[in-house]
Amino acid sequence: MAPATAEEAATVMMLARRERFAVIPAGAATFIDAGNVLSRSNLVLTTRRLTKMIRHEPADLVATAEAGLTFREFQNRLREKGQWLPIDPPDNGTATVGGVVATGLSGPQQMGYGAPRSFVIGLRAILADGRSIKAGGNVVKNVAGYDLCKLFTGSYGTLGLITEVTFKLRPVPSETRTIVSSGPLISLVTVGRTIARESFPVAVELLSASLAKQLGITVSAGESVLMIRFAGSSRAVVTETASALKELREDSNITCVTHDEDDDLWLGLSNAATQAVNDLSWRVIMRPSDLVSFLDDVASLEQDEASHIGLQWQAGLGDGRLRAMARTPVYHGEAVRALERLRRRAENLGGSLVVERAPAEIKNEIDSWGSFGSATDLMKRIKQQLDPENMLSPGRFIA
């Protein structure tokens, strides 16, 4: 169901509750299968028709949009005034502002700019009982006594339907430049980690050869690709790029190309995770120093077609984030075993592995999120306070 106003959405929510319908909040439904398989689902309540840009105050670096506005359109509108929201989630142009907030996902440039939750400064949402709530501005802590902006970011439709979001923004950098390097994995990791530590790139992203080829980057057999982006004032970008190039060229196995017009490269990468052909996608987060050894496990999967067909991956060397995408084999058992092994390995290194997208046969065998550890009780308490009858996306996080 796609209400035309937030008030209509609140009425639908109230009626759904009366009928004891399980409601699934949605935006463009590009990633509606995120998380565990739902235990019940009666009504998908989408923000598809809530598409207004409500206000943009360039002087204050603040903008508010209805949740159903596409993220791409939102960014285009901000750019007209030289500003942007510096998050780069997987997106092929259809993801909505509300969906991006509800999943809390960003991408390679999270390293330089920070996580989405730090940009959400206000929101309106409708709770399971149809009550409309407002968070942010002067109302920082309310309803359950928590910071609702942070709580709703990454809530995957389990706490309420977000109808409107206010973000703090950044000016579009006056200059950006990307160095695309190719070479042996170990060489790129070594130099990439040094550059991530010692200078100020906004992204240091390592790509598997097959993902790089999909983006149109030429890469030889046995090589990987490293994309390093600098952004800021012209002077800073020129200096930083020159010093990174010097570092990279000290290794004779590495070749580099520099791109001044680099937006399309990064947009292409954002698009890559959304390829419908890949029905298996998982992500890992861990200390950047530990990611280096974990990469060996991931690279070995490239040859393991029994569990992952056509594996592609990308990894943030500065922030310890990795996403892998593949097609699943007909027999899912090997994929489940590989995911369990990788999760154990990630957890032993102090990290975590989330299964983002997978056929139901796999999601029925392995929990999407792994263990929430000590956060489990808090999550249950918050869910109990905001949705005591478990009517919103039941089973997505915890059965």
Q: Binder to ligand FAD among 3, 86, 90, 318 (CB under 6 A)?
A: 90
Whose Cβ is closer to ligand FAD: residue 182's or residue 314's?
A: 314
Establish if 24 lies at the interface with ligand FAD (CB under 6 A): yes
Site for ligand FAD in 132-171 (CB under 6 A): 156-157, 161-162
Structure tokens belonging to residue 390: 């478990």
Tokens of 312: 């592609």
Q: Which of 13, 23, 63, 102 binds ligand FAD (CB under 6 A)?
A: 102
| Nearest CB to ligand FAD, comparing residues 102 and 180 | 102
The answer to the question of residue 32 lying near ligand FAD (CB under 6 A) is: yes
Q: Check residue 9 for interaction with ligand FAD (CB under 6 A).
A: no
- Would you count residue 110 as binding ligand FAD (CB under 6 A)? no
Rank residues 67 and 336 by Cβ distance to ligand FAD and give the closer one: 67
Q: Quick one: how far is CA 210 from the chain centroid?
A: 21
Closest Cα to residue 22, out of 8, 43, 38?
A: 43
Among 229, 308, 332, 357, binds ligand FAD (CB under 6 A): 357
Binding ligand FAD by CB under 6 A: which of 6, 22, 23, 28? 28
Using CB under 6 A as the binding rule, whether residue 368 contacts ligand FAD is answered as no
| Torsion 314-114-287-332 (CA) sign | negative
Binds ligand FAD (CB under 6 A): choice among 12, 67, 346, 355 = 67
Indicate whether 89 belongs to the interface with ligand FAD (CB under 6 A). yes
Of 30, 83, 166, 182, the one binding ligand FAD (CB under 6 A) is 30
Q: Kindly state the number of chain residues that form the binding site for ligand FAD, as judged by CB under 6 A.
A: 35
End-to-end CA separation in angstroms for the chain = 25
* Least Cβ distance, residue 89 to ligand FAD (angstroms): 4
| Min dist. Cβ of residue 254 to ligand FAD (A) | 30
Considering only residues 11, 51, 94, 255, which one is a binding residue for ligand FAD as defined by CB under 6 A? 94
274 binds ligand FAD (CB under 6 A): yes
Question: Which of 3, 86, 98, 370 is the binder for ligand FAD (CB under 6 A)?
Answer: 98
> By C-beta, is 221 or 276 nearer to ligand FAD?
276
Residue 208 binds ligand FAD (CB under 6 A): no
HEC states along 329-342? CCCCHHHHHHHHHH
Among the residue ranges 22-30, 293-301, 330-338, 378-386, the one whose residues contact ligand FAD (CB under 6 A) = 22-30
Q: Could you say whether residue 312 binds ligand FAD (CB under 6 A)?
A: no
Choose, by CB under 6 A, the member of 3, 86, 99, 108 that binds ligand FAD.
99
Sole residue written with tokens 């389990």:
158
- Our CB check for ligand FAD shows the closer of 179 and 386 to be 386
Nearer to ligand FAD, 32 or 335 (CB): 32
At 12, phi and psi to the nearest 5?
A: -60, -45
In the complex, the residues that contact ligand FAD under the rule CB under 6 A are 24-32, 34, 47, 67, 89-92, 94-96, 98-100, 102-103, 105, 156-157, 161-162, 273-274, 281, 356-357, 393
